[in-house]
Amino acid sequence: MLIDWFTVGAQVVNFLILVWLLRRFLYKPILHAIDEREKRIAKELADADAKQMEARKERDEFQHKNEEFARQRAALLSQATDEAKAERQRLLEEARQAADAMSAKRQETLRNEAHYLNQAIGRRTQQEVFAIARKALSDLATTSLEERLGAVFIRRLQEMDGEAKAGLAKALKTAPNPALVRSAFDLPAEQRTVIQQSLNETFSTAIPVRFETAPDLISGIELITNGHKVAWSIADYLLSLEKGVGELLKMKDKSEAPVKSQTEELQPESESH
């Protein structure tokens, strides 16, 4: 018989014991170790993933910050550039203004100098001309000239227009003091009489007159009473001439004011005179 039933039973028991022992000593510990390792690897992978995610996040954040920084820097730089430009513009403008002011001041000074020179020349010329005229007329003035002067004075009194005449008449009549007749030379008695008579005739009343000598009249006669004055003298003519020349000079000054260069402008002016 090939089958020994006792051995069969013993082998069954042996096999079952072997199953139990191997399960206890082989399969369970090995499978447990493998599971542990798998868990550990999975955990490590998860950790690595988490770390990678974190790193990516931090990198993104860093990049974002970097960009922000670059943007701010660019903004600051452009702001500084703009400010520098503005400052430069302002300084240039200031310098230009200062230069303009200096230039204007210089021009003004030049103009003033020219003006004063002009005035001085004009005044001097005027004075010289009048001095010459006065000297000539004084030299020429004689009694006969004075007589002629008296005649002219009388004619002018007579030729006075109505309104002026009435005013003067009123002034003569109401004046508390006698009317004053001034002349460059001492008038002779007959001439004084003629003037008295002509006054009386002209104003149809006896007018008290006081005669006075005033050499500054150069050559002429004037009647002064109560704020009114009737005069004729060469000095008057000279004064009016002087006035006319003065106005002429003033006009010239005005016309020269906007001109840049005094010398350039003075040249034609002087040529025209």
Partner 1 sequence: MRLSPDDIILWHYGFFKLNATIAVTWGLMFVLVVGSALITHNLSPGLRRSRWQNFLEIIVTAIEKQIQEVGLRHPEQYIGFLGTLFLFVAAASLGTVIPGYEPPTGSLSTTTALALCVFVAVPLFGIEEQGVGGYLKSYAQPTAIMLPFNIIGEFSRTVALAVRLFGNMMSGAMIIGILLTITPFIFPIAMTALGLLTGMVQAYIFSILAAVYIAAATRIRKPKPEPDARQ
Under 8 Å between Cβ of 146 and 184: yes
Nearer of residues 4 and 100 to partner 1, judged by Cβ: 4
Dig out the tokens for 194 from the structure.
Answer: 């003629």
User: Looking at 40, 71, 85, 124, which residue binds partner 1 (CB under 8 A)?
Assistant: 40
Nearer of residues 37 and 71 to partner 1, judged by Cβ: 37
Count CA atoms within 13 Å of residue 70 on its CB side. 6
Nearer of residues 4 and 212 to partner 1, judged by Cβ: 4
CA pseudo-torsion sign 105, 107, 111, 114: positive
Dig out the tokens for 180 from the structure.
Answer: 């004053």
**Contacts (CB under 8 A) with partner 1, residues 189-248:** none
Dig out the tokens for 203 from the structure.
Answer: 């104003």
Total residues binding partner 1 (CB under 8 A): 35
Shortest Cβ distance from residue 59 to partner 1 (Å)? Answer: 29
Q: How far is CA 10 from CA 1, 4, 132, 186, in A?
A: 17, 10, 176, 192
Q: What string of DSSP letters covers 23-74? A: IIIIIHHHHHHHHHHHHHHHHHHHHHHHHHHHHHHHHHHHHHHHHHHHHHHH
Asked if 47 touches partner 1 (CB under 8 A), the answer is no
Shortest Cβ distance from residue 42 to partner 1 (Å)? Answer: 9
Residues 139-178 as x/- pattern, contact with partner 1 by CB under 8 A: ----------------------------------------
**Contacts (CB under 8 A) with partner 1, residues 8-37:** 8-12, 14-23, 25-27, 29-34, 36-37
Shortest Cβ distance from residue 23 to partner 1 (Å)? Answer: 4
Residue type, 235: A
Return the range that interacts with partner 1 (CB under 8 A); candidates 6-14, 52-60, 153-161, 177-185. Answer: 6-14
Q: What string of DSSP letters covers 106-175? A: HHHHHHHHHHHHHHHHHHHHHHHHHHHHHHHHHHH--HHHHHHHHHHHHHHHHH--HHHHHHHHHHHHH-
Shortest Cβ distance from residue 45 to partner 1 (Å)? Answer: 12
Binding site for partner 1 (CB under 8 A): 2-12, 14-23, 25-27, 29-34, 36-38, 40-41
